């Protein structure tokens, strides 16, 4: 008999970033999940949001998802498809898929543990290592700070780097792109990310000015839901167009691909709902000869990248990994090194996802919010702030 899900617990970790992403994003939020089954199995997963809605994601997991999945077969694809049908009324993507990732990742963790292997091993490792590119949320940096960051990327062995653009004046963007190109030299790849700050007319002007610096791609210059504008942009752009961190479903990725509105898709594994939909999206892209560049979360996206048929490059935002933020209970399952002169990511063979988050009772005085079979959460405990080894005040909460 296949194992059945018996329970789900959640807890929220809020951690300040070592390098602020600006006034709107000084911290990240991780919603940790623990799933149990009737055969004694336990799977650990998480959801994540840098800014909006951590309490909403947590509430959706506790009050709607946990009661619904109780009794379902502990199969990640079966559970994901059932949850998609159940939650679609609340929105076809966004908070719903972000919350679903917490369950999906826990189920894949459990499945790999039971198979005695890592998630990478379970899905089939195709690469010993993959390339890493340096990235930073740096639009608020001064020109001097940006140049210093670019120098650190070069020293780290990154063969490709990505910077933010979208200053009030296009000449400022041009000055910054030119300065980074000068630091990294002509042979390294340079990508720029506008984070939906531009309209179509400004994007075309920017391409005229910035295109001379040899850009590998232009990322998300327009609102992520403006399919018509992206179709027109890609038709006339001399620079490849990348998007996807704010696209949440395979259906919307299909729309962009079929409309020939994108060159590179960038699914965020959590935002699309976990490993299950991520794999489907990657196969869709591969069938249409579209490149994939996973968005953020190298502890997770790096492991998945090692299983993909086509080699991809993993994004590493400076000093923003879970290990660097001090919220893992042990070492990271991935390692980034430049022993060959170029930065590469490899992974360990630790079972499951290969990591758990700090804050359990044996390590830090966090209080988990349990969801019993009735689906009614236990009373919330207090929010607790605990300094980590770097002096950050990390908040652990079940409220």
Check pLDDT > 50 for residue 383.
Answer: no
Check pLDDT > 90 for residue 363.
Answer: no
Residue 141 forms part of a structural domain = yes
Whether residues 86 and 181 share a domain: the answer is no
Cα dihedral across residues 384, 387, 388, 394: positive or negative: positive
Residue pLDDT, tens place only, 138-182: 999 999 999 999 999 999 999 999 999 999 999 999 999 999 999
Whether residues 72 and 194 share a domain: the answer is no
pLDDT band with cut points at 50, 70 and 90 for residue 359: confident
Dihedral, CA atoms, 210, 213, 215, 221, nearest 10 degrees?
A: -10
Beta bridge partner(s), residue 387:
393
Residue 23: its pLDDT value, please? 79
Q: Does the active-site annotation cover 162?
A: no
Whether residues 79 and 162 share a domain: the answer is no
Q: Which residue of the set 44, 127, 158, 164 is catalytic?
A: 164
Whether residues 55 and 105 share a domain: the answer is yes
Q: Does the active-site annotation cover 164?
A: yes
Whether residues 296 and 221 share a domain: the answer is yes
Whether residues 293 and 367 share a domain: the answer is no
Q: Which residue of the set 167, 295, 342, 360 is catalytic?
A: 295
Residue 382: its pLDDT value, please? 40
The CA distance from 243 to 292, in Å, is: 10
Whether residues 183 and 299 share a domain: the answer is yes
Mean pLDDT of 57-86: 98
Residue 69 in tokens? 């999945």
Dihedral, CA atoms, 138, 142, 147, 150, nearest 10 degrees?
A: -10
* Total number of domains constituting the chain: 2
Residue 354 forms part of a structural domain = no
Residue 353 forms part of a structural domain = no
pLDDT band with cut points at 50, 70 and 90 for residue 394: low
Whether residues 146 and 163 share a domain: the answer is yes
Check pLDDT > 50 for residue 370.
Answer: no
Share of the chain above pLDDT 70, in %: 90
pLDDT band with cut points at 50, 70 and 90 for residue 267: very high
Whether residues 289 and 178 share a domain: the answer is yes
Domain limits for position 97: 5-115+359-397
Angle, helices 200-210/227-236, rounded to nearest 10 degrees: 30
Residue 368: its pLDDT value, please? 34
Residue pLDDT, tens place only, 29-43: 999 999 999 999 999
Identify the burial level of 187 via C-beta atoms within 10 angstroms of its C-beta, where 0-12 means exposed, 13-18 middle and 19 or more buried.
Answer: exposed
Check pLDDT > 70 for residue 362.
Answer: no
- CATH number of the domain encompassing residue 374: 3.30.390.10
- CATH number of the domain encompassing residue 250: 3.20.20.120
């Amino acid at each position: 008999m296949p194992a059945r899900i018996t329970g789900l617990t959640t807890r929220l970790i809020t951690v300040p970033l070592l390098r602020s992403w600006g006034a709107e994003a000084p911290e990240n939020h991780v919603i940790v999940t623990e799933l149990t089954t009737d055969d004694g199995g336990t799977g650990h997963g998480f959801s994540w949001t840098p800014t909006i809605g951590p309490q909403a994601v947590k509430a959706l997991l506790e009050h709607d998802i946990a009661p619904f999945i109780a009794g379902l077969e502990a199969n990640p694809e079966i559970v994901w498809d059932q949850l998609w049908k159940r939650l679609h009324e609340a929105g076809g993507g966004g908070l719903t898929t972000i919350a679903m990732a917490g369950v999906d990742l826990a189920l894949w963790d459990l499945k790999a543990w039971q198979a005695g292997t890592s998630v990478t091993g379970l899905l089939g490792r195709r690469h010993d290592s993959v390339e890493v590119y340096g990235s930073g949320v740096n639009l608020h940096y001064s020109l001097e700070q940006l140049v210093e960051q670019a120098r650190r990327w070069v020293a780290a062995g990154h063969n490709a780097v990505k910077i933010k653009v979208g200053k009030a004046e296009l000449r400022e963007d041009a000055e910054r792109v030119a300065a980074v190109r000068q630091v990294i030299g002509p042979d390294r790849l340079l990508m720029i990310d506008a984070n939906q700050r531009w309209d179509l007319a400004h994007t075309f002007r920017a391409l005229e000015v910035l295109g001379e610096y040899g850009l590998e791609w232009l990322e998300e210059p327009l609102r992520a839901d403006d399919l018509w504008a992206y179709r027109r942009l890609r038709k006339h752009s001399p620079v490849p167009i990348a998007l996807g961190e704010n696209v949440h479903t395979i259906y919307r990725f299909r729309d962009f691909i079929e409309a020939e509105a994108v060159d590179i898709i960038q699914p965020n594994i959590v935002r699309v709902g976990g490993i299950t939909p991520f794999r489907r999206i990657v196969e869709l892209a591969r069938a249409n000869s579209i490149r994939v560049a996973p968005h953020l979360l190298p502890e997770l996206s790096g492991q998945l990248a090692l299983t993909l048929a086509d080699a991809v490059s993993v994004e590493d935002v400076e000093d923003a990994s879970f290990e660097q933020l001090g919220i893992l209970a042990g070492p990271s399952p991935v390692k980034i090194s430049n022993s060959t002169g170029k930065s590469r990511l490899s992974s360990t063979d630790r079972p499951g996802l290969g990591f758990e988050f700090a804050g359990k009772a044996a390590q830090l005085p966090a209080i988990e919010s349990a969801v019993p079979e009735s689906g009614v959460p236990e009373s919330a405990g207090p929010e607790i702030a605990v300094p980590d080894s770097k002096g950050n005040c990390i908040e652990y909460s079940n409220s």
